[in-house]
Structure 1
Amino acid sequence: MSKKINIGLVQMACTEDLEANLEKAIAGIREAAAKGAQIVCLQELFRSLYFCDVEDHHNFSLAEAIPGPTTARLGEVARETDTVIIASLFEKRAQGLYHNTTAVLDADGSYLGKYRKMHIPDDPGYYEKFYFTPGDLGYKVFETRYAKIGVLICWDQWYPEAARITSLMGAEILFYPTAIGWDTNETDPAVDQEQYNAWQMIQRGHAIANGVHVVAVNRVGREAEQQFWGGSFISNPHGSLLYLAPHDQEVVHVQEVDLDLTDKYRTTWPYFRDRRIDSYQPITKRYLDE
């Protein structure tokens, strides 16, 4: 059987209107499905503006249960369109306990499970530790109708350990719902370009090191003092770009990928074969002083 499948990504700008954001995302999923998409990934926290730019207790009202109302609606869309949907949401787990979580709906509309973001940033404009408890489900893969997928979230992108573990668990594709942008107070365009290049390159490095396709889906538009840089992309298992979205436009794109390339590249470049797992114990330390 052919291992070629169609990946859809929805790169969009958000507003304060939660329902409008959800309807735009659903319209994007339907458009992607009409173009042949079998798996569609939405950006991080697509239902709202990126609220983590401030520490405001009122923003906890944006959270919801997972599974819950949004996963129910998206499940209906998944079933109608025969698509797998990857949906990043603000999860209310219990009173005073919240996570940055991505749910996966299979192509029959069933809820397959969720991944809770493991690495939580705390930087100017990204005060996520105020809102999110670090994930406690571990790294996850999901056996969907079309492929076995791994899901990580935004800040997880900078950690090769997360990509490696998820790949070792059998993920055929790594998806990264994302919300990242440029500080509008930055006046040096070289700094902006360097930041974007680093973000893209490290994820293409994950593709190379693990021999898997990588899909990163970011948002666009200005929110507060962040200009979200879009630039969503799909990389093949050797780091070559199959698709690159613009920085300043909403876009729905569908890209065919060939999952058989994993075997080709892992055979030609046998990084998994040559791993020295007996020597990796130091990686579990915070820092090696001596």
Structure 2
Amino acid sequence: MRVAVVQLAADVDSASNREAISRQLAELGADDGLDLVVLPEAAMHDFGSPDLDLAPVAEPLDGPFVAMIAAEAVRLGATIVAGMFERTDGLPFNTLVVVGPDGALRMTYRKIHLYDSFGYRESERLLPGDLEPVVVDVAGRPVGLMTCYDLRFPELARELVDAGAEVIVIPAAWVAGDHKLDHWRTLLQARAIENTVHVVAAAQGGDRYTGHSLVADPWGSIVVEADSHSQVIQADVTADDVARAREVNPSLANRRLGNDRLPNHRTSSSS
């Protein structure tokens, strides 16, 4: 599976963000043979200042942001995962949309763990999603979805793997600060190692966020990594890599606790 990871710095102007994303995706074409394109959390509209009300800027799933993502998915012939704020009757959700190469909305994942940490209170502006892992089929590969702060909760990654995920996709707006880049890299590599999966992480860059989008293989090695600027990185993530890692390091099979497969999970298919 060929993946492209788009790192960008979103603004608090949704129309401007759509234009910027389209310009950045213009670097890619159908002849790149991409199966999956991943954009960061809050690509639709940045979080802004801590007191910014996100409800008025949130969009429905049939709004202009998803329409733009759908058009790009069709142009590229690829599945796109991107972060947005989803409109409700009250506080919005922090939502990942999964749009297939036919332009259809395949799946949503609403962030479970809201960022009430490091002095922030995401729960004052957004609703948490249901406690339900989400796995979607992309080009024949089961892909699990997480968002940013979810990364600090290894039990969610393990439930995704128990639901069949061989790749974990993590869009993020990982706020910069002391120790934060070390945490970002270490946790991404740990999720890859302990679950013997590929990890594909798309982060916001710029001055406010850490950047350093990356792809890690099932051994935890970083295959490709961005810096802090807007850019697109690409990598191949293969089922053979996962199978080989799990043959040599069968830690999932050797578990003594929590070795039952999760009975309740959602799946969806896309080509």
Normalised by the size of structure 1, how large is the TM-score?
A: 0.83
CA contact (8 A) 2:82 2:98 kept: yes
Q: State the partner residue of 2:81.
A: 86
Q: 2:182 and 2:253 mapped to 1: Cα distance?
A: 30
8 Å contact 2:18–2:68 — kept in the other structure? no
Instruction: Give yes or no for contact 1:54–1:125 (8 Å, CA) kept in 2.
Output: no
Give the equivalent residue in structure 2 for 1:198: 183
Q: Find the aligned partners of 2:159 and 2:44 in 1 and give their Cα distance.
A: 29
Per the alignment, residue 236 of structure 1 pairs with 217
Unpaired stretches in structure 1, ≥5 consecutive residues: 184-191, 281-290
Q: In the alignment, which residue of structure 2 is the partner of 1:207?
A: 192
Q: How far did residue 122 of structure 1 move? A: 1.8
Q: How does 1:159-174 map to 2 (within 5 A)?
A: 159-174=153-168
For the 8 Å contact 1:116–1:137, the answer to whether it is kept is no
Task: State, as a whole percentage, how many aligned pairs show the same letter.
Answer: 30
The corresponding residue for 1:72 is 67
Return the offset for 1:126.
3.2
Q: Which runs of 4+ in 1 moved over 4 A?
A: none
- Equivalent positions of 1:100-115 (< 5 A) are 100-115=94-109
Taking a change above 3 Å as real, the CA distance of residues 43 and 253 of structure 1, as seen in their structure-2 partners, is same
Equivalent residues of 2:35, 2:138 under 8 A apart: no
Kept after mapping to 2: 8 A contact 1:29/1:40: no
1:153-164 matches, within 5 Å, as 153-164=147-158
Matched, 1:54 2:50: yes
Per-residue Cα deviation, 1:101-129 (whole angstroms, up to 9, x for no partner):
10101112111110010101223563311
Q: Letter of the 2:103 partner, please give it.
A: G
Q: Deviations over 1:215-273 (max 9, x none)?
A: 11111113xxxx312111100001000001112x1111111222211111111111111
One of 224, 227, 236 as aligned partner of 1:256:
236
The aligned residue for residue 9 of structure 2 is 13
Q: Deviations over 1:112-165 (max 9, x none)?
A: 110010101223563311111111161100122352211100000111101111
Match for residue 120 of structure 1 among 114, 120, 128: 114
**2:206 pairs with 221, 226, 229, which one?**
221
1:63 is aligned with what amino acid?
A
- Whole-Å separation in 2 of the counterparts to 1:78 and 1:199: 28
Contact 2:216–2:223 (Cα < 8 Å) also in 1: yes
Cα drift, residue 88 of structure 1? 0.6
Post-superposition offset of 1:279:
9.0
Equivalent in the alignment of 1:283: none
Aligned residues: 259
> In structure 2, what residue type is equivalent to 1:219?
Q
Determine the C-alpha separation between the residues in 2 that align with 1:278 and 1:22: 42
Pick the structure with more helix per residue: 1
Q: Which amino acid aligns with 1:132?
A: L
Distance 1:163 1:278 in 2: 13
Q: Does the residue aligned with 1:176 lie in a helix, a strand or coil?
A: strand
Q: What is the match of residue 188 of structure 1?
A: none
The alpha-carbon deviation at position 67 of structure 1 amounts to 4.1
Change (3 A) 1:200 1:7: same
Instruction: Give distance in 1, aligned partners of 2:67 and 2:154.
Output: 33
Q: Which residue of 1 aligns with 2:263?
A: none
Alpha-carbon distance change, 70 to 60 in structure 1, aligned in 2, over 3 angstroms: same
